[in-house]
Structure 1
Amino acid sequence: MTPEAYKSLFTEDDTVGWTAIDNVFDKIYPGQEPAHYAPPLHYAAGGEDPLDGTSIYKSNQQEEHFHIVSYGFSELYYNEKAAGGEFSKWGFELTMRVKPFAGDPDKPTWVINMMNNLARYVFTSGKWFEEFQYIPANGPIRLDTDTDITGLAFIKDPEAGRINTPNGEVTFLQIVGLTTAELGRIQKANTRTAVEEVLTALAITNPLLITDLERRS
């Protein structure tokens, strides 16, 4: 899309990238109004959270779980300079699927904090995440929790996938929780192939790669 075509289709009031994300999840969850969380103060204005927002959907696909999506790694708003670009800002948004957990009084809002921590890393380092990367959490991914999920891996979300927006390409990278043993296996090889092998094995019985904090090695 040329800048001229972009300007003819949108105005500065349009949330071009945000709407593109919403359209994806409206198709996955038609008619559902997600729980949406936004920081009290925008990051550009001195707020602590880099993400502009996070939405949590309820899914019954495969089994009951929450499906969380971030807003902020991609270009969310009107930006005619983004027209025709290959990637929308960092080129991805994060998602995560989490099985209901007894320690959560309602929704897994701890995932929002985790996503914002990952965003701080991206925004300050200038490095981004890609499919089949992994991160050791140096402890339980949900703080102060007796869980064996101590690492994270990234894979393209099996439902949201990848989209082309007027602001460029966006891949929905799903965070998958790894057990200590899985993390150790990946760290020993330290290759993306090892990450892919672990996630492929998990997907045999868990095709949507839902993170279960009670899962053990």
Structure 2
Amino acid sequence: MTEEGQAPGWEAIDGALERLYGAQEPKHYGTLIPYAMGGSDPLDGISAYQAEEPVPHWHFVTYGFSELYQKESGDPEESGYGFELTFRLVRTQEEEEPPAWALNLLQNMGRYVFSSGNVFRAGDYMDANGPICLDSDTRLTALAFVRDPELPGIDTPNGRVEFLQMTGITQDELAAMQAWNTFGVLDAGAAHIPSYLTDLERHSLMEDKAVSDAVQDGLEREGSSTGFLFVDQLGWTPGKKGWLRKTAPVLTIGAKQADIIGKLLLGRIPKGRELTLAGAGHSVVFKRGEQALHMEDSQEVTIVLDDRSAREMAQNLVPQARRFDAPFKDGLTVEIVKTEITDQDGSVIRTIG
């Protein structure tokens, strides 16, 4: 670490952990070459504590999303990105060192935030497009973010820092969170994931009937809290009008996200809420209205749905390559195309649709 007084943000995090773990010396993994000087790891360090309750586990805490040294950002209220990440991973009694994949996962979160500028907040989720532990057969292929249950936010000389805990989730849990909300799903399954622990060997919460029933009840009662969804495969081809023939515009969606888009339409349009799909070059906004129609300009496409057309479109949005005509007076064709899932080397490991 640095000399006394030279890292007030770091010292504030250490103080919060000392209040929780006392004199326990964590396993600490620092970065030799700073990211700003060409190093490969964006985080300055990661500490791993041995916790025993509710079951033995590693409690990882990052150093680097917040301002550890001098104040550099112009926001006096928040330190850096305003958070540090934590991660609780089930530990066997024989384990003396935390697994390297968990450290790599946290550094990958740093690469994502530093490169994109996107920050995490409690209630967020992220699809990892594969096992969170590479080369394992775990069903945990996504992450949800909540406030760490034992580390409240702290005020540092550089601003406020919240501790956000990542927890591994399955694909159907991710879909349930998108269709309803993150906290509702996690609360419904709290008995299976105390303290939001990540256990690579656990089954899906949605296999518990009480949890799946709670999710369905919540969705029907409250609708979906997801109003914005980034869509990897999203396209819009304007229609053409001619003397003898006209063609309807075409909305293109990838098979991987077709099903959840359908669920979101059912969870938002009947409740009078908008849904925005954002792609690399297109933005499509769904709104509720008296009749189905679409409008487009240079910035975005607006699709207005009544309850009947929302239900009909949702029923047709399935993870299968196909085309169908939506119930629009002026015509709209929806094309669902295959999605290819690739590994870190770009090799296709799975095709959907």
Shorter chain as denominator, the TM-score bin is 0.7 to 0.9
Aligned to 2:202: 215
1:92 CA drift (Å): 0.1
Report the 3-state secondary structure (helix = DSSP H, G, I; strand = E; otherwise coil) of the residue aligned with 1:149: coil
For 1:142 and 1:110, locate their aligned partners in 2 and report how far apart those are by CA, in whole Å.
6
State whether structure 2 residue 86 is matched by structure 1 residue 99.
no
For 1:145 and 1:186, locate their aligned partners in 2 and report how far apart those are by CA, in whole Å.
24
Task: Report the structure, 1 or 2, having the larger strand content.
Answer: 2
C-alpha distance after superposition, 1:96-142 (max 9, x if no partner): 0000269x883122121111111111111111110100001111100
Report 1:1-217 matches (<5 A): 13-79=5-71, 85-100=76-91, 106-187=97-178, 189=179, 194-217=181-204
Q: What RMSD over aligned residues (CA atoms) do the two structures have, in Å? A: 2.2
1:12 CA drift (Å): 8.9
Report the 3-state secondary structure (helix = DSSP H, G, I; strand = E; otherwise coil) of the residue aligned with 1:89: strand
CA contact (8 A) 2:57 2:92 kept: no
CA contact (8 A) 1:122 1:128 kept: yes
CA contact (8 A) 1:83 1:166 kept: no
| Pair 127,64 (structure 1): closer, same or farther in 2 beyond 3 Å | same
| Pair 144,205 (structure 1): closer, same or farther in 2 beyond 3 Å | closer
Q: What is the TM-score with the length of structure 1 in the denominator?
A: 0.86
Q: Give the AA of the match of 1:164.
A: D
1:33 CA drift (Å): 0.4
1:83 CA drift (Å): 9.4
Q: Unaligned regions of 5+ residues in structure 1, if any?
A: 1-10
Q: Give the AA of the match of 1:56.
A: A
CA contact (8 A) 2:56 2:92 kept: no
Q: What is the TM-score with the length of structure 2 in the denominator?
A: 0.54
For 1:105 and 1:142, locate their aligned partners in 2 and report how far apart those are by CA, in whole Å.
19
Q: Give the AA of the match of 1:15.
A: A
| Pair 151,23 (structure 1): closer, same or farther in 2 beyond 3 Å | same
Deviates more, 1:122-131 or 1:105-114: 105-114
1:13 CA drift (Å): 4.9
Aligned residues: 201
CA contact (8 A) 1:13 1:78 kept: no
Report the 3-state secondary structure (helix = DSSP H, G, I; strand = E; otherwise coil) of the residue aligned with 1:185: helix
CA contact (8 A) 1:141 1:151 kept: yes
Report the 3-state secondary structure (helix = DSSP H, G, I; strand = E; otherwise coil) of the residue aligned with 1:121: helix
Moved over 4 A (4+): 81-84
For 1:26 and 1:202, locate their aligned partners in 2 and report how far apart those are by CA, in whole Å.
30
CA contact (8 A) 2:127 2:141 kept: yes
Q: Give the AA of the match of 2:62.
A: S
Larger Rg: 2
Identical amino acids, percent of aligned pairs: 47
